[in-house]
Amino acid sequence: MPNEIITTLSSSIASMQLNLFDFVVEKPKFDEVLTRRFQRSEITRNVNKNLNLLSNNHFEYLNPICPNCNSNHVIKQEYHERNPILADSGPQKIYLRRYKCKSCSKKFTTSLDSVIKPHHRYVNIYSDKLESLIQTGYRSLRKLGEDFQTFFGNSPSHTTIKKWQTIEVEKRITNTITLYSGYYAYDEQYIRLNGKRHYRLTLYDTILNIPIAEEIAPKRTTEAIKRFIEESTKNQPLIAITTDHFRRYKRIMDKIGVKHQLCIFHLFKMIGNSVHKILKSKNVSKREKITLCLYFTDIKNIFRTYNEETSINRLETLLDKFKDIPKVLQRYLTKKILPDFQRLTHFMISPFIQRTSNKVENYYRQTDPNQIKKIYKTIKGILSYLNQKMKKWTAKHGKNINTQ
């Protein structure tokens, strides 16, 4: 890292003024002179290629042009002093030449915006490194300041770090991928902002294996969920969505007009919870418990195939013995499986439709585990964190699969 500034400047600065001590016993080398002047500085961006670097860190344009009228009739004026903090080198003095345009009478100053923004003390590399620090895991603003102190020897204030966390939207972030597959999983996670319950809405592309949009909503109303899905998939394919068994989802997906796959894992989990209570009961005989487990396995086998005809045959065989099935399983058959059979078997017809919403569940576990999802303060704060997590996840786990 310390040599990056040398490489950048040597390819960017048009000319440089040398001092006598630069000539020791042989002709001075450009890179060696830059090393002495900006030793240990860490600036990775390109500066203006028409810059001229004079002695004692004085910068000016080699061929100044007015940024207002593009005139080259410009006169030089005094230098403007700045005191930027250059990573672990600490504060340094630099001097930027000022100019006045003779054509439009406007004044302007030599720009180093690619290195450090106007009215800022910390060079841009600090805000660049902030993204990397956030991607490794959640940290408070003050903790991030401690990380900067550890790695760079300088600790920006928590308010300064907060300003570097720029999110363009107020309640939603979207992925930069321009074309989605059309096959998604939708889920929600509850979080707390200043102790108040909010919901993290997530639409996940199950083919590309990436989140495509996330939003923070105070309530998970039908209107809010429908709007989020429609706006997130605007001008994008929308073929199928896999969700858990929250009752409201069926009505929402029907309004949107998309194939709705109910999560098989959640179905087994719901039935399993009811079965488990009976298995723990001392009032149920061992024989009844064995019978319950066997019929529960038969229900699972209905969905343990990717062939719809096989699934229907297994269901019909089970219904032939309906009177022998334990009542708890009869209720699930009549109130859940039969009414929603089509929603439970879309994955058997199309290989691209996911049978479970496990991918988005795994994304939640990796990006926002339970121990930190209650410590956020603002919507902007959590979206800043999730935005970096989305970028890292997309780069690491995203797949480029053409489903058309």
Helices 379-397 and 125-135, axial angle in degrees (round to 10): 80
Q: Is the same domain home to 257 and 272?
A: no
Residues 8 and 99 in one domain: yes
Instruction: Tell me, yes or no, whether 190 lies in a domain.
Output: yes
With respect to residue 302, please indicate whether it lies within any of the assigned structural domains: yes
Rounded Cα distance, 85 and 123, in Å: 6
* Choice among 203-212, 251-260, 356-365 with the minimum mean pLDDT: 356-365
Q: Are residues 220 and 272 in the same domain?
A: no
Instruction: Domain of residue 245: give its range.
Output: 172-263+356-397
Assess if residue 282 is contained within a domain: yes
Statement to judge: residues 145 and 214 lie in one domain: no
Adjacent-strand bridge partners of 96: 59, 80
- Same domain membership, residue 250 and residue 364: yes
Contact predicate 231/314, CB 8 Å: no
Number of domains into which the chain is organized: 4
DSSP per residue, 240-273: EEEE---THHHHHHHHHT-EEEEPHHHHHHHHHH
- CA distances 59 to 92, 94, 217, Å, are 14, 8, 49
109 and 76 in contact (C-beta within 8 Å)? no
Residue 100 has pLDDT above 60, yes or no: yes
Residues 225 and 269 in one domain: no
CB distance 79 to 117 below 8 Å: no
**pLDDT classification of 192: cutoffs 50, 70, 90:** confident
Q: Give how far Cα 182 sits from Cα of 329, 343, 404, Å.
A: 35, 17, 10
pLDDT above 70 covers what percent of the chain?
Answer: 73
Asked, for residue 119, whether it belongs to a domain, the answer is: no
Task: Judge whether residue 278 has pLDDT over 70.
Answer: yes
The answer to whether 206 and 185 have CB atoms below 8 angstroms apart is yes
DSSP string, 56-77: GGEEEESS---TTT----EEEE
| CATH code, domain carrying 222 | 3.30.420.10
Q: What is the pLDDT of residues 4-35, one digit of tens each?
A: 434 444 544 555 554 544 544 455 555 555 55
259 and 360 belong to one structural domain? yes
Q: List pLDDT tens digits, range 225-269.
A: 999 999 999 999 999 999 999 999 999 999 999 999 999 999 999
Closest to 16 in 3D by CA, of 35, 1, 2, 40: 35
Same domain assignment for residues 233 and 177: yes
What is the tens place of the pLDDT at every residue in 116-174? 777 777 766 676 677 666 666 656 667 777 777 676 667 777 677 666 665 555 678 99
Could you tell me where the DSSP H helices lie in 77-185?
125-135, 141-152, 158-164
Say yes or no: 309 and 253 in one domain. no
| 158 inside domain | yes
Cβ neighbours around 150 below 10 Å, total: 9
**CA–CA separation, 14 vs 50, rounded Å?**
5
pLDDT at res. 48: 41
The answer to the question of residue 149 being in a domain is yes
Q: Is residue 402 part of a domain?
A: no
Do 153 and 250 lie in one domain? The reply is no
Looking at per-residue pLDDT, the higher value among 19 and 321 belongs to 321
User: How far is the C-alpha of 403 from the C-alpha of 179, rounded, in Å?
Assistant: 11
Same domain, 149 and 297: no
Residue 34 makes CB contacts below 8 A (sequence gap 6+) with 5, 6, 9, 10, 16
Domain contains 360: yes
User: Residue 214: which of 275, 145, 270, 167 has the closest Cα?
Assistant: 167
Query: 111-115, 268-272, 352-356: lowest mean pLDDT where?
Result: 111-115
User: Does the reported pTM lie above 0.85?
Assistant: no
47 and 86 housed in the same domain: yes
Average pLDDT, the chain: 80
